[in-house]
């Protein structure tokens, strides 16, 4: 067996994870795959949010890849904008829009997957999904790779807005570096313009976050409505079941009465037969 074993394990509903993990580790160990068995044994049971994220990687890999690609474009455009490239700012706007759109789509997919478990996707869970998607898009590294493979085992976090490290570096550079910058064709005015673009990017990132929060609120409302409808349907079903049960009991009582009446009819017929002339013995 290969890492495919772990991928299949992380596709299981969280409540089935632990038993399946222990059984898989036992089987792998028996087959001689000691290293993989050790990895499986160390795997943590995923939260509902982590389960949904791995589900996205398994069922919607193209949409996830598009999100990560948008994140790469944001980082590249941010670095370009900091260097004073006007085209970088334009690309940053487009890439940020793409990231917001792809992320909203994936959050909706994740909410549907959670509903498929028979659970309500809470704002807290969807918030963790949103944060992890954002971090994976903007922070290339082990966490992103684990998500792509569908074996993510922890929430991912991203601190700051896109390109914050590059911007901080540009803003904090000491004054003595100004002369070399001018010799290289860069000016303080250019840096101020780059920082202005960076601040605009930060505003867009905040707007993106608020848009994602609106998506979360929309799903909360949808879930509440679905739960209300389900409760009403359950109540109707229970009422119909009670009515059906009462009708069955009444039918059984009527049947018993009919059988008793038939028995009494037969007794009456027998008595009449005995009373007819010629039917009595001498």
List, as one string, the DSSP characters of 208-260.
HHHHHHHHHHHHHHHHHHHHHHHHHHHHHHHHHHHHHHHHHHHHHHHHHHHHH
pLDDT at 114: 93
CA angle (253 as vertex; 247, 257 as ends), nearest 5:
140
Average pLDDT per run of 10 along the chain, which is 282 residues long?
Answer: 75 92 90 86 92 94 94 85 69 86 92 91 90 91 90 82 37 36 48 61 66 69 73 81 86 89 85 72 48
Contact 36, 1 (CB under 8 A): yes
Contact 7, 59 (CB under 8 A): no
pLDDT at 167: 33
pLDDT at 131: 92
Residue closest to 6 by CA, chosen among 56, 48, 44: 44
Distance CA 86, CA 77 (A): 10
pLDDT at 136: 93
Distance CA 120, CA 118 (A): 7
Contact 212, 107 (CB under 8 A): yes
Task: Report helix, strand or coil for 79.
Answer: helix
Name residues whose C-beta falls within 8 Å of residue 62's C-beta, 6 or more positions apart in sequence.
none
């Amino acid at each position: 067996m290969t890492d495919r074993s772990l991928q299949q394990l992380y596709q299981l509903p969280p409540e089935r994870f632990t038993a399946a993990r222990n059984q898989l580790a036992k089987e792998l160990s028996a087959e001689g795959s000691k290293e993989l068995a050790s990895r499986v044994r160390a795997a943590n049971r995923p939260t509902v949010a982590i389960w949904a994220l791995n589900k996205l990687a398994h069922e919607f890999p193209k949409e996830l890849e598009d999100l990560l690609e948008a994140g790469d474009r944001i980082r590249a455009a941010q670095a370009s904008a900091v260097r004073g490239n006007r085209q970088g700012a334009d690309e940053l706007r487009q890439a940020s829009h793409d990231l917001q759109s792809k992320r909203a789509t994936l959050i909706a997919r994740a909410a549907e997957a959670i509903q498929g478990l028979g659970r309500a996707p809470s704002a807290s869970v969807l918030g963790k999904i949103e944060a992890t998607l954002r971090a994976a898009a903007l922070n290339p590294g082990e966490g992103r790779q684990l998500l792509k493979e569908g074996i993510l085992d922890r929430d991912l976090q991203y601190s700051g807005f896109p390109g914050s490290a590059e911007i901080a570096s540009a803003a904090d550079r000491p004054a003595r570096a100004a002369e070399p910058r001018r010799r290289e064709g860069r000016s303080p005015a250019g840096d101020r313009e780059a920082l202005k673009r960076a601040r605009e990017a930060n505003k867009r990132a905040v707007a993106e976050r608020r848009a994602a929060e609106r998506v979360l609120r929309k799903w909360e409302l949808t879930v509440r409505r679905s739960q209300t409808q389900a409760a009403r349907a359950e109540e109707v079903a229970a009422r119909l079941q009670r009515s059906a049960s009462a009708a069955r009991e009444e039918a059984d009582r009527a049947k018993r009465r009919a059988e008793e009446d038939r028995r009494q009819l037969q007794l009456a017929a027998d008595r009449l037969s005995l009373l007819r002339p010629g039917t009595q013995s001498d």
